[in-house]
Structure 1
Amino acid sequence: MRSSINRRQFGQLLLGTAAVGLLATGCGKDTEQSADGSVTLGFAWWGNEFLNAQTNQATAAFTKANPGIKIDPRPGDWASYWDKLATVTAGKDSPDVIQMDQKYIAEYGGRGALADLSTLGVDITGIDKAALATGEYSGKQYGFSTGQNALVVMANTAVFKEAGVDLPDDLSWTWDDYTKLAAKITAAGKGKLFGASYGNNESSLIIWLGQHGEQLYTDDGQLGFKEETAAKFWDQLKLQRDQQASPPASINSEDASASLESSLFGTNRLAMGWSWTNQLASLESATGSEIKMLRAPSLKGTAKDNGMYDKPTMYWAVSAQSKHPKEAAAFVDYLLNNVDAGKILMTDRGIPTNSAVLTAITPGLKPSDATVVAFLADIKADITVAPPIPPVGASGMQDSIIRYTADVLFDKSSPEQAAKAFVTEAQGMLDSARK
């Protein structure tokens, strides 16, 4: 999924540009106090019909418990969410409470569009400290993680069985093991099955760099990797194509735009796909098969060196434009810490970071969600650090990675050429944002 938002839009966030409030139901509506003394908070999030209904249920429970606060819901979809949010923020009509993504939190927070949550009195005593750190930027708390997630290899056991291939030992497998196993499945499928997808997004690169002792960004917002390490990343993807471990470039390109239900994985034609842990239930529903989560392969064949990390599924944030920051913070506190809210929201925005909420909802978890909770607990010992959050200017990084991957797979660029161009483009994004 990608957005067409650009750096110029972000640069205009605080300029007060006249703009149509595309996410708003009425300019300034949420900044006025009603005749009955209540205040209305604009609340924006992206999601599907299920998530929207669930979120509306949680907001209804909050307003029932807090009659002095009303919620103006502003749901959207990922494809248009960020363009709309940039527009209304530039127009000084930002929602009070905003669902944020990691790659945008520094863009908005670093440009003064988000409030420092550490000053608003939200209770953080029950929140995992590592999760708190993922919402900090330049010494300020711009977001609270709605829940934790990890990028994993999802293995479709039905496809493995059809190919006559055993599942790997994910505690000890290497990239060589991964590639050979995937190629074996493709060969057994005789054109019907493919072994593995290409892990070709920003998080995949972060895992790869972590295995090399490097990171995508440094703590001070610089690029933190060597060009040759990025070239090896694209070498690995090219190797998967050449050894027929993964689909041909043309099929992969078509699959990238397919819905889950019509994708190679969703139609039981792909044995291993890279996905987030909170997608397990959706994948099992689409395939009708048992899906087993696997750790990432590593260079050395040891789980502690596989570069995996806990990523916030998304964040709760408060707009710096809000005229009701106290009430907005109370709503965020409720979403983050209230057990009743947790029982409504469950794990669809990730595994709750509040230990009391997680304990309270565990008995009611669906089997797939309970599996995710157990898996994340199992890998926790091998996760040592959280990568620095993307700095201002980095919001286009994922699109860039995907584009250069396509160039390599279609033989428009060598891995070395792609890495060189990517480093130049990535550095340009960061430099431009600092001007």
Structure 2
Amino acid sequence: MTTLTRRSALKVFAGTAAVGLLAGCGTGGGSKNADGSVTLRFTWWGNDVRNKQTQQVIDAFQKAHPNIKIQAEPGVWSGYWDKLATQTAANDAPDVIQMDLAYIAEYGGRGALLDLSKQKALDLSAFDSNTLSAGQYNNKLYGVSTGQNALGIFANVKVFQAAGVAIPDDSKWTWDDYIKTAAALAAGASKGGTNYGASYGITDQTLSIWLRQRGEQLYTSDGATGFTVDGVASFMAFQKKLLDAKAAPPASVAQEDVNAAVEQTLAATNKTGMSFWWTNQLGALSKAAGTDFKILRVPSQDGKPQDDGLFYKPSMYWSASSRTKHPEEVATFIDYLVNSTDVAKVITTERGFSTSSKIQDAIKPLLTPTDKSALDFLTQIKPELGQAPAVPPVGSSKVGDALLRRQTDVLFGRADAQAAAAAFKSDADNLIKNAKK
């Protein structure tokens, strides 16, 4: 596994997994024990905080359900999808899978995920139609959302104070204001402040926000790309402006930062003043950095918050392998994860804010100041939000890799923004087109 890239692992999955699943071959996950109990393999990506919380949940579940054993398989984002793709290709996927929006069509569309809507042991009555539709693809429910979150700019309060820079008013700031603020933070490094002013945010989710501000979209509802070369070129040119203004790190550092575990990022080590994160990551990031962060709206082109392109995104999903030998036990475990108030009191907001009113009421007295800060932000931006984007189509899970490759070409000076954007558009179109073959 250590020699596989995400692209090569997904290629293996795309070429062999669906064939094996449709043919009914392979062993699948889960096992039957001598005492009559079953063992379910459970995988997730996360950080130290999430891992500890999840193990507490596993222990409580096993105590309440002695006939179901849970084999924990935690991982980190940078290697998670390589491993899952290879396991799925070998018909050895874990039974219960923490899934992301970018991959739900990739796996569900190729027959690798269980249709949860058909599992009687899973009670979905606490979730509204919008929450459930976020986990649907081709009219099948491949994932139940763990909660909702939104993308924001995390401003490191300590870094701003050390650099002598005021935290900007996010109700009216633009991308030009973002560059000016980042440059001021970087200049303040000599005063004991940050090494870099801001991170780039070279992800397909950040690009999606940028495109939405321009009236474009990353993907259309019929599974195609929905953006122009000029739209992506403007995004790439902006990143280059950050570099030229000495407001963000060199390209080599940026590459490392994108793939680093949360605790090892520039943000978590107090080496950058502003960075892009999801609201549910506030607790882990604050703990790792040992300081407070203020969540700011993403800047807009015109300084109007209603035009900043933000939306509520499912934090992640609980999904299950279609090859599991124990679908009823899997559904029982997922039901426990999404409906138990005991689970909610352990996890609180680490996997996002649940849309279940019962869960919301259960955790309200337990919210930390950090949790309340994230919730306040989500509540504040609600009137400004646009419609959620289309579910990314099959083949799109590798688009983020293509974006990083083309964007770093611009930062390293190997290509200009227009050429890199054209190459990225071709990459994205071909990935989706080839996935349909």
Q: TM-score, normalised by structure 1?
A: 0.90
**Per the alignment, do residues 144 and 155 of structure 1 end up closer, same or farther by CA in structure 2, a change over 3 Å counting?**
same
Query: Displacement of 1:267 after TM fit?
Result: 4.0
Equivalent in the alignment of 1:3: 6
- Taking the TM superposition and a 5 Å limit, the aligned residue runs for 1:125-204 are 125-190=125-190, 193-204=195-206
Is 1:30–1:42's contact at 8 Å kept on the other side of the alignment? yes
Q: 1:50 to 1:196 in 2, by over 3 A?
A: closer
Residue aligning to 1:344: 346
The answer to whether the 8 A contact 1:31-1:322 is kept is no
Gaps of 5+ in 1: 18-23
Aligned to 1:271: 273
2:374 aligned residue (343, 350, 372) = 372
Question: Aligned equivalents of 2:215 and 2:341: distance in 1?
Answer: 39
Partner of 1:271: helix, strand, or coil? strand
What TM-score do the two structures reach when normalised by structure 2? 0.90
SS at structure 2 position matched to 1:171: coil
Distance in 2 between the 1:42 and 1:290 partners? 36
Matched with 1:30 is 30
Divergent runs of 4+, >6 A:
none
User: Would you say the 8 A contact 2:105–2:137 is kept in 1?
Assistant: yes
CA contact (8 A) 1:7 1:393 kept: no
Matched-pair contact (CA < 8 Å) for 2:170–2:296: yes
1: distance between equivalents of 2:294 and 2:203?
21
Alpha carbons 1:281, 1:368 under 8 Å: kept: yes
Distance in 2 separating the partners of 1:405 and 1:29: 38
Matched residue of 1:292: which SS?
strand
User: How far 1:9 sits from its partner (Å)?
Assistant: 2.3
Mapping of 1:232-243 within 5 angstroms? 232-243=234-245
Taking the aligned partners of 1:84 and 1:257, their CA distance within structure 2 comes to 15
Secondary structure in structure 2 of the residue aligned to 1:131: helix
Q: Which whole-Å deviations, capped at 9, do the CAs of 1:300-339 have from their partners, x for residues lacking one?
A: 2111110112222221012211232222112111101111
Alignment RMSD? 2.4
Q: How far apart are 1:201 and its partner, in Å?
A: 0.6
Match of 1:215?
A: 217
Choose from 283, 286, 289 the match for 2:288. 286
Q: In the alignment, which of 425, 429, 432 is matched to residue 430 of structure 1?
A: 432
What pairs up with 1:221-370 in 2 under 5 angstroms?
221-253=223-255, 255-256=257-258, 263-370=265-372
Q: From the superposition, tell whether residues 235 and 71 of structure 1 become closer, same or farther in structure 2 (CA, over 3 Å).
A: same
Distance 1:175 1:77 in 2: 31
Q: Is the contact made by 1:147 and 1:314 (CA closer than 8 Å) also made in structure 2?
A: yes
Deviates more, 1:275-284 or 1:297-306: 275-284
Aligned to 2:92: 93
Q: Cα distance, 1:258 vs. partner?
A: 5.6
Q: Is the 8 A contact 1:155 1:273 kept in 2?
A: yes
Note if contact 2:148-2:354 (Cα within 8 Å) is conserved in structure 1: yes
Query: Does the 8 Å contact 1:148/1:313 carry over to 2?
Result: yes
In 1: Cα distance, 2:186 partner to 2:48 partner: 36
* Structure 1 residue 381 corresponds to structure 2 residue 383: yes
Report the more deviating stretch, 389-398 or 162-171. 162-171
Q: Is the 8 A contact 1:214 1:224 kept in 2?
A: yes
- What is the rounded CA distance, in whole Å, between the counterparts of 1:251 and 1:39 in structure 2? 46
The alpha-carbon deviation at position 117 of structure 1 amounts to 1.3
Do the aligned partners of 2:145 and 2:317 also contact (CA within 8 Å) in 1?
yes
Partner in structure 2 of residue 12 of structure 1? 16
| Residue of structure 2 aligned with 1:399, choices 393, 398, 401 | 401
Measured after TM superposition, the shift of residue 110 of structure 1 is 0.1
SS at match of 2:276: strand
CA contact under 8 A between 2:29 and 2:325: conserved in structure 1?
Answer: no
For 2:241, the aligned partner's letter is: L
| Structure 1 residue 261, shift from structure 2 partner | 5.3
> Structure 1 residues 338, 249: closer, same or farther in 2, change over 3 A?
same
For these two proteins, the number of residue pairs brought into alignment is 425
Deviations 1:362-391 (CA, angstroms, capped at 9, x unpaired): 211222122112211221222221111221
Residue matched to 1:20 = none
Q: More deviation in 244-253 or 353-362?
A: 244-253
